[in-house]
Structure 1
């Protein structure tokens, strides 16, 4: 497990394990890294952290206490999107848990949309319907652990909270949200019969300067996922340690692509211990949606200057290579702790090994090949769990790295 404390973009608190998985799966399908935590604090690199409170069958006051404690441990940044996952049939303690989250976070508005149209769950005039039938006329009214006492969502919530609840149509919701000004905490129950209704709710909620607390089932999670589909251009971080002429021609060719930018690491900087400015340069390139090609060979003559470098710094060739590889491995780890490109390309066996070690990888699982000479797969364990491509320095032709970029952009 990674040792870094996770700082997710989205925090979801669910009241049971399978419900948490239902909330996370649609977000995971967009490419976001989704982890379901069994205990807090949680260490990792998740984009979405789903926390299971396991509180559905608890007494309301105990459920509220547990939620308050979890919020304290997993939600610390107001820029994070916070979502309360509830059961689509309203089982459990939705009112008590919702109130606990609002009080713990200071959220003044909660938007409750438990509809899940794909599963036949809709909200009409504030009523929870299962395939058009009020939930209290279905088997959920006699659930052995958590029976549902009312189909009126507002009344059901109001039985467990003193925060005012109001039910409204989708059009009323849109109108009121545009004019919303906080005058104390409020809970809005919003009608939804289709995925389009949930999309409207999610879109308008996310557009608010101060985001409300979203409350719902897997349906609102799917709507949220549709809002978070990654439409930004895919980008590659390439660490090229090879000084072969083939590798240099590959870099020159790929940098004719307007979205690719090369960055030369001056070995003198590495040896004298002043290379910190490279980190921010790489982060800036990747953050702008461009491919970043990092290499240590500025021209064809660079390899012939190695003996002079070794003599000046009193190093053998292997010692010099080890220092450069260690630096590139550490630099790669620092970059990936700050930004998340779509794939990592490692050229040169020593560099690939150094990067793998710096990232804490225990192995490499090969899953395919690009451009006939570039195996790709994923590291086993460690910080980086997205695609990794490796290439021997002298392999391929001038277009090899360009083909890798095209593969990343189209994949």
Structure 2
């Protein structure tokens, strides 16, 4: 039997783009929202969205600690999902994970390797780079960051986690050398190691070196490190497929992310696809009554039933108040949840937006199947409605990604299969 994995993430898209590596290796994998209805899947993977991205360091640490105390089992391998751009409170959450596992007598030594080469994220000298540039030079960092820079070792130290750095030259000297440095770091009393990586091959070496130590360690990374760990965990590699009822109903696309690449992808959809475009301004979402928002949703519902694809977006404004993101996402869910229930599927960018909308419609999770492209997973919703769904982190993909997502679900609905 494959080993069981428990993945803890701070948002929905992160949970999904990490767990999808296991689904693609033939391991049953599901994402659940905020621990709701979490179940053990023998030989499978459960990824839980703790919804801690917007919390303070103290609140995020407590949310992770509470979940682990309730749900972690010693015969389970643990993966702490990190945001690839270090948004939210990954250091405080990692510190809380170390502390709780020590309390529980679990594997408390952290193997941190957050590189995700397929999306341009690498780690060199313990620092996060995005397409070769320092994390702190990126557009997303300028808009939303927690730490002064992308130096993982230093940021962990400030959170109370003392780590040793395994540099790229050591990684590329092979798995035996990496394992030796990990064991030496354990002997010296470090809380963990931070591993450099620029390629999937680098991550595979790290996985090969540390997977045999799984009874002593837990892993902290993105969807990048999950790929080789999933392959090593699978006794019989191969994907999964799910049959669908064929339908001509329209697909609902919801764009809540403010990141430039998602906005560019939205423009491509609007310029090239025959869709109904329904914009919601932040001011409207904040001030409109439930009845007024549901009235706008009725137009969307009717279009979807008629077979028209619909794009709903939270309109970008100058100097957005990021602290209001959760409020806006919850108000958008009021407008759209009845439309989602009759749709032919959902494409959503922005984890908080997607999770709140699905939860409002009685959906508590996603059974994962495959990817449209790296970091853009496909699955079937769990709960009151079984719908094909694609989630995309705001900063992932290209200007064509949302168009491909729309095309994928339409084709799956015509074929009657997600695969």
Taking structure 1 as the reference length, what is the TM-score of the superposition? Answer: 0.51
Partner residue, 1:194:
199
Aligned residues: 226
Secondary structure at the residue paired with 1:207? helix
Offset at residue 165 of structure 1 (A): 2.3
1:37–1:185 distance in 2 versus 1, CA, 3 Å: farther
Shift of 1:232: 8.4
Distance in 2, Cα, partners of 1:232 & 1:131: 31
Per the alignment, residue 163 of structure 2 pairs with 165
* Residue of structure 2 in register with 1:102 after alignment: 98
Distance 1:165 1:195 in 2: 23
Equivalent residue number for residue 252 of structure 2: none
Runs of 4+ in 1 over 6 A off after TM superposition: none
Distance 1:127 1:169 in 2: 10
Whole-Å separation in 1 of the counterparts to 2:88 and 2:132: 22
Deviations, residues 108-137 of structure 1 (Å, cap 9, x unaligned): 411110000111111111111111100101
Q: Which residue of structure 2 lines up, in the alignment, with residue 253 of structure 1?
A: none
Assess if the C-alpha contact under 8 Å between 2:97 and 2:108 holds in 1.
no
Pick from 49, 55, 60 the counterpart of residue 58 of structure 1: 55
Secondary structure, aligned partner of 2:30: strand
Q: 5+ residue gaps in structure 2? A: 171-176, 239-381, 384-419
Instruction: Rate the CA distance shift 1:8–1:62 in 2: closer, same or farther, 3 A.
Output: farther
Query: 1:41–1:73: 8 Å Cα contact kept in structure 2?
Result: no
Quote the offset at 1:60 in angstroms: 0.2
**Counterparts in 2 of 1:167 and 1:179: CA distance versus 1, 3 Å:** closer
SS at match of 1:70: helix
Residues 1:12 and 2:2 are matched in the alignment: no
SS in 1 for 2:213: coil
Q: Is the 8 A contact 1:40 1:74 kept in 2?
A: no
Among 177, 182, 186, which residue is 2:182 paired with? 177
- Identify the structure with bigger relative contact order (alpha carbons < 8 Å, sequence gap 6+): 2
CA RMSD of aligned residues (A): 2.6
Give CA-to-partner distance per residue, 1:301-349, whole Å, 9 cap, x none.
xxxxxxxxxxxxxxxxxxxxxxxxxxxxxxxxxxxxxxxxxxxxxxxxx
Q: What is the DSSP-based 3-state SS (H/G/I as helix, E as strand, rest coil) of the residue aligned with 1:11?
A: strand
Distance 1:232 1:153, change over 3 A: closer
Q: TM-score, normalised by structure 2?
A: 0.50
Instruction: Flag structure 1 segments of 5+ consecutive residues without an equivalent.
Output: 1-6, 234-379, 382-411
Does the Cα contact within 8 Å between 1:117 and 1:195 map onto a contact in 2? yes
Q: Does structure 2 retain, via aligned residues, the 8 Å contact 1:113–1:216?
A: yes
Residue aligning to 1:112: 112
* Correspondence 1:90 to 2:86: yes
Deviations 1:376-398 (A, max 9, x none): xxxx99xxxxxxxxxxxxxxxxx
CA displacement at 1:51 relative to structure 2: 0.9
Q: Hey, what's the Cα distance between the residues in 2 that align with 1:216 and 1:209?
A: 15
Give the match's secondary structure for 1:61: helix
1:345-388 Cα offsets, whole Å, 9 max, x none, are xxxxxxxxxxxxxxxxxxxxxxxxxxxxxxxxxxx99xxxxxxx
Task: Pick closer, same or farther for the CA change 1:105–1:158 going to 2, 3 Å.
Answer: same
Aligned to 1:73: 70
Mapped to 1, the partners of 2:82 and 2:187 lie a distance apart of 24
- Bigger Rg over Cα: 1
TM-superposition CA deviations, 1:193-228 (whole Å, max 9, x none) = 111111111121111263311100110111212212
- TM-aligned CA deviation for residue 184 of structure 1: 4.0
